[in-house]
């Protein structure tokens, strides 16, 4: 009888594997927590009665409430700075216009659905998330963002 998974035939330390990936990701993460990306979620608007596509009520007398979006900072993720054509940029030579962030599933689930992120006062808008990549029993997510001033 064949094993259903290669991991059944190998002594595999899942915790050490995850720790190893996080350690490798730390190489692409600013050591100062204050300089790591801040993931910002959009404000949400609720209104009584029907609203248009932008959430604005048709009835001028309707009551609308806005809840400020939350922000998550200090998340461990690898950050790559890219130029306009998607090539990795050495900082200080060319102004980066794109970011590529790599996160493990547990971290990704915390920031999934964010609107934009801030790094050192620069804003990068969310663009897309690549399909997940499986690594043994971990899932890796790659997120692409674009500088706000480079539309």
- What pLDDT digit, counting tens, does each position of 16-64 carry? 888 888 887 777 677 787 788 999 999 887 777 788 887 778 888 887 7
Structure confidence at residue 83 (pLDDT)? 77
**Which residue, chain included where needed, has tokens 């993931």?**
39
Beta-sheet pairing, 122-129 with 98-104: unpaired
**Which residue, chain included where needed, has tokens 């300089």?**
35
- pLDDT, one tens digit per residue, over 103-136 is 999 999 999 999 999 998 889 999 999 999 988 7
Structure confidence at residue 1 (pLDDT)? 47
pLDDT at 144 over 90: yes
**Domain assignment of residue 65, yes or no:** no
SS3 125: strand
**Domain assignment of residue 100, yes or no:** yes
| Number of residues written out for the chain | 151
- Residue of higher predicted confidence among 111 and 76: 111
**Domain assignment of residue 99, yes or no:** yes
**Domain assignment of residue 97, yes or no:** yes
**Domain assignment of residue 38, yes or no:** yes
pLDDT at 2 over 90: no
Structure confidence at residue 117 (pLDDT)? 94
Number of domains in the chain: 1
**Domain assignment of residue 129, yes or no:** yes
3-state helix, strand, coil split of the chain in percent (to 5) is 20, 35, 45
Taking the C-alpha atoms of residue 48 and residue 55, their distance in angstroms, rounded to an integer, is 11
**Domain assignment of residue 50, yes or no:** no
Q: Which domain holds residue 143?
A: 6-42+70-147
Overall average pLDDT of the 81-92 stretch: 69
**Domain assignment of residue 14, yes or no:** yes
């Amino acid at each position: 009888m064949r094993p259903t998974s290669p991991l059944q035939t190998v002594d595999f330390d899942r915790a050490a594997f995850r720790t190893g990936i996080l350690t490798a990701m730390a190489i692409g993460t600013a050591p100062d927590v204050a300089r790591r990306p801040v993931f910002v979620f959009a404000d949400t608007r609720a209104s009584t009665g029907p609203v248009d596509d932008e959430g604005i009520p048709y009835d001028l007398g309707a009551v609308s409430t806005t809840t400020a979006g939350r922000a998550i900072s200090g998340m461990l993720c690898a950050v790559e700075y890219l130029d306009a054509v998607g090539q990795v940029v050495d900082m200080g030579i060319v102004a980066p216009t794109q970011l590529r962030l790599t996160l493990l599933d547990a971290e990704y689930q915390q920031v999934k659905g964010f609107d934009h992120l801030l790094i050192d006062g620069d804003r990068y808008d969310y663009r897309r998330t690549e399909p997940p990549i499986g690594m043994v029993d971990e899932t890796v997510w790659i997120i692409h963002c674009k500088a706000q001033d480079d539309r």
